[in-house]
Amino acid sequence: MGKKGLLGLALAGLVPLTAFFIFKYFGDQVQIMPRHYYMDSLRTHTEDGKIITDTVWRKVGNISLHNQLGDSVSLDSLKGKVIVANFFFTRCPSICPRLTANMHKLQESFMKTQGYVQFLSFSVDPERDSVPVLKRYATKYNINHSNWWLLTGEKKTIYDFALNEVKLGLQDGEGVDSNFIHTPKFVLIDRNRVIRGYYNGLDSTEMLRLLDDVVFLNMETEKKKPKKKWF
C-alpha cells in the first residue's frame, strides 16, 4: 500500500471527530457545508414585513430495486438518511475493485454511527449481476449488509436514475456513455434527497472530503432540529 493509502487509513477515524469540533465551536462562521446542486424553483414568503426568497432544490426521484439479500428496497425506505452512492459491476477488472475498497473504508469509518448514513452501489450490468452474484461479491469484500446495499434490477431503470436523477452525465469529467455507464464518481445525497456532492472515488483526497461532508450533512440536520423548551 502506498503512502497515500496509509495516510487515508490513518486519517479516516480522525476526520469525523475533527469535523464535529469545527462545526460545534465555529458554527456558521465557517462555510463548510457541501453545496446544493440543481435548483428546482424559487419560493417567496413574507416575514416581519419583508419578502424572503427561498431556493427549492431539486430532489432525486425514488427508485425501487433488489439488494444483495434479495430484498425489495427503495430510496423512499431511507427517509432521514444521508446517502453515498456509486455505480459498478462485479465483472469489472479495472476501477470497480478500488471503488468498492474505498466504499468499504467509508463504511468502516461510520460503523459506530451507521444509523444516519446508507451506502448504495448500483450495478450497471444488472443482467449479469443477479442477487446471488451480488451476494457473493458482498462476501468477497466483507460488506456489512446493514447499511450498504448492492443493487440490481431493470437496466433501463438504473440507467434512467443515473443519467436523469443523479445526472452523472453532467458531472463526470470524461462523459458518461448512456449505453454503458463506467464512472469513478461517488454521489452524496442529503436527508431531503438533494444532491450535495460528486467525488472521485479513486482519489484519496476526494474520499477524505467526502468523509468530511457526510459528517457535516448530519450536523446540518441536527442543527435544524428545534430546541426543547423547558419553561
Can you give the residue range of the structural domain that contains 41?
A: 3-223
* Residue 115 located in a structural domain: yes
Residue 211 lies in a domain: yes
Considering the domain boundaries, does residue 230 fall inside one?
no
Query: Residue 23's domain is classified under what CATH number?
Result: 3.40.30.10
Query: Residue 176 to residues 98, 142, 158, 222: CA-CA distances in angstroms?
Result: 19, 29, 14, 35
Q: Which of 23-37, 62-76, 115-129, 180-194 has the lowest mean pLDDT?
A: 23-37
The answer to whether position 50 is within a domain reads yes
Give domain status of residue 228, yes or no: no
Q: How confident is the model at residue 112 (pLDDT cuts 50, 70, 90)?
A: confident
**Whether residue 25 has pLDDT greater than 70:** no
- What pLDDT does 26 receive? 44
Distances from the Cα of 56 to the Cαs of 37, 72, 134, 191, in angstroms? Answer: 11, 30, 37, 14
Q: Flag whether 122 is in a domain.
A: yes
Q: How many domains does the chain have?
A: 1
In a domain, 229, yes or no: no
**Is pLDDT of 63 > 50?**
yes
